[in-house]
Structure 1
Amino acid sequence: MLSPVYLLLLLPLVAAQSYHWGPCPDPMIQPGFKIQPYLGKWYEIEKLPASFERGKCIEANYDMRADGTIRVLNKQYYKDKWRVVEGSATIADPQRSGRIGVSFSYFTPYSPYWVLSTDYSSVAVVYSCTDVLHLFHVDFAWILGRSRFLPYATVQHAKEILVREGIDVFRMTNTIQTGCRD
């Protein structure tokens, strides 16, 4: 039996997230995904709410380490200063290379980072889902661009990909990418 105290402790964690009853969907990932052309800088265009992303000018930079893991460097401008966090990513199954695991601490397990679609040169659609006690799931979704701004039609097409895979995009918000000082 789930303790009411435990549920109360979980509420603040999911309040700034997008959550739904039931298990995580199992979306299709990009067939034949290749990590090498995906590496480099991506700018966050839109996202589902994420408590760890409250700033503007959000970007992620991916590069390969000598040991075969992927260095993840996330950056955002929040409360008048740049905030940078470094993590690590791995591809556990080369047959499903679009399903990447990302962790930002030695003490936390790898979280899903699934590339649903990318052309590698302009846009990527990424999804993550965490199942909570088989009662509900917490969604994360990002539309990323190689530039700070994407055409409206490109963003709409990215949202259509998410919707087609059963992912609710109603709470997606634009990420402010103006006034960014690199």
Structure 2
Amino acid sequence: MSAVYLLLLLLPLVSAQTYRWGPCPTPKVQPNFNLQQYLGRWYEIEKLPASFERGKCIEANYAVRKDGTIQVLNSQFYKDKVRLAEGTAVVQDPREPAKLGVGFSYFAPYSPYWILTTDYASLSVVYSCTEILRLFHVEYAWILSRTRFPPTETVNYGRQLLLNEGIDLFRMKATDQMGCKDN
């Protein structure tokens, strides 16, 4: 019975997220992923809802630090201000370099950040999933581009890839990239 109470307490926290019953799916990731080619700026084109991303002009910039970790610098325009969030990404298993772990706090474990596909020049499709008590999972998905306004067919390709991997896109929504300056 205590698991039910815990679940009821957690539900408001995930209301701005996408959650589904059961364990996380395990989609295929980019084979032969090359981190060096992935570095740089990516613009968020579409996403599953995320409470930490409510603004517009959302982008992420990836760079290698001297210690070998990856600096993740996310920015968005929210409530009339540019908001920045700096995190760290690591390759957790060198045999699967497209499965990164990302953290924005020293006190929390790394969250999965799996690159399902990328051509490094125009498209990246990213998925993240965390199980809660094996009862349900919270998932995120992003379609990213090197440009704020990629061709429709590029975005449709990313959406289809997510659908083929069994990821429900019912709540997927476009990110507003209109009127943005480089953050």
- The bucket for the TM-score relative to the shorter chain is over 0.9
Question: Quick one: distance in 2 between partners of 1:66 and 1:155?
Answer: 34
Question: Quick one: distance in 1 between partners of 2:57 and 2:89?
Answer: 22
Question: Quick one: distance in 1 between partners of 2:153 and 2:2?
Answer: 45
2:32 counterpart of 1:68: no
TM-score, normalised relative to structure 2: 0.97
- Could you tell me how far 1:154 is from its partner in structure 2? 0.8
Identity, in percent, stands at 64
What are the superposed Cα offsets for residues 130-159 of structure 1, whole Å, 9 maximum, x if unpaired? 001000011100000001011111111101
Question: Quick one: distance in 2 between partners of 1:108 and 1:3?
Answer: 22
Matches within 5 A, 1:74-93: 74-93=74-93
What are the superposed Cα offsets for residues 31-72 of structure 1, whole Å, 9 maximum, x if unpaired? 000100000000000000001100000000000011110000
Q: Secondary structure at the match of 1:90?
A: strand
Question: Quick one: distance in 1 between partners of 2:181 and 2:33?
Answer: 32
Question: Quick one: distance in 2 between partners of 1:158 and 1:2?
Answer: 40
Question: Quick one: distance in 2 between partners of 1:171 and 1:4?
Answer: 25
Unaligned runs of at least 5 residues, structure 1: none
Question: Quick one: distance in 2 between partners of 1:66 and 1:59?
Answer: 23
Question: Quick one: distance in 2 between partners of 1:5 and 1:61?
Answer: 39
TM-score, normalised relative to structure 1: 0.97
2:160 counterpart of 1:160: yes
Question: Quick one: distance in 1 between partners of 2:118 and 2:2?
Answer: 40
Amino acid at match of 2:31: P
- Could you tell me how far 1:170 is from its partner in structure 2? 1.4
Aligned to 2:134: 134
Question: Quick one: distance in 2 between partners of 1:159 and 1:181?
Answer: 26
- Could you tell me how far 1:3 is from its partner in structure 2? 4.2
Question: Quick one: distance in 1 between partners of 2:28 and 2:2?
Answer: 32
What value does the CA root-mean-square deviation take over the aligned residues?
0.9
Matches within 5 A, 1:1-182: 1-182=1-182
Unaligned runs of at least 5 residues, structure 2: none
Q: Secondary structure at the match of 1:170?
A: coil
Amino acid at match of 1:14: V
Q: Secondary structure at the match of 1:96?
A: coil
**How many correspondences in the alignment?**
182
Segment drifting more, 59-68 vs 7-16: 7-16
Amino acid at match of 1:21: W
Question: Quick one: distance in 2 between partners of 1:169 and 1:15?
Answer: 16
